[in-house]
Amino acid sequence: MVCNKILYVALVLIALLGASPLQAGPLDTSRHPHPKIAQAVHEAQHAVDRAWEAYHRAALGGTVASPTLQTEIEDHLSDARELVTEARVAAGQGDAAKVQDLVRQVKAHADKALKGSKEHKK
C-alpha cells in the first residue's frame, strides 16, 4: 500500500516536471568568455535532458524494473543536475580542468540513469 502511494506521488511529480522548460536549448558560444568550456557544459546538460526523457517515458509507461531502481535513477538524475550547475559556475570562472571533471561526472550519472531506465520489469 505504501509503495503504491509512493509510486503515485512519483508519477505525479514526473508528469508535472515532464513539461519542464529546464531543457537545454541552442547555445551561442560567441558571447561566452570561454566558448569551448561552455560548449562542454552545454553538451553535458543535453546528456542529462536525454536521460530525464528516457526516465519519464519508462516511469509513465510503468516499465521501470522496481521502486528501488526508480529511486536510484532519480538520485543519479538529481546528482547530474547539481553537477551541471557546478560546471556552469566553473565555466564562468574559466576553470577548464574542473569543468572537464564535472562534465565527466555528469555524463556518468546520466549514463547510469539511461541504463536503469531501459531496464524493464520482469
Matching residue, cell 509503495: 3
**C-alpha span between 90 and 84 (Å, rounded):** 10
Per-residue pLDDT at 34: 76
Half-sphere exposure of 58 (CA within 13 A, CB side): 24
| Regions of the chain where pLDDT drops below 70 | 1-33
Q: Give me the torsion for CA of 62, 64, 68, 74, rounded to 10°.
A: -100
Which cell goes with 76? 543519479
Domain ranges of the chain: 2-17+34-118
The pTM is what? 0.74
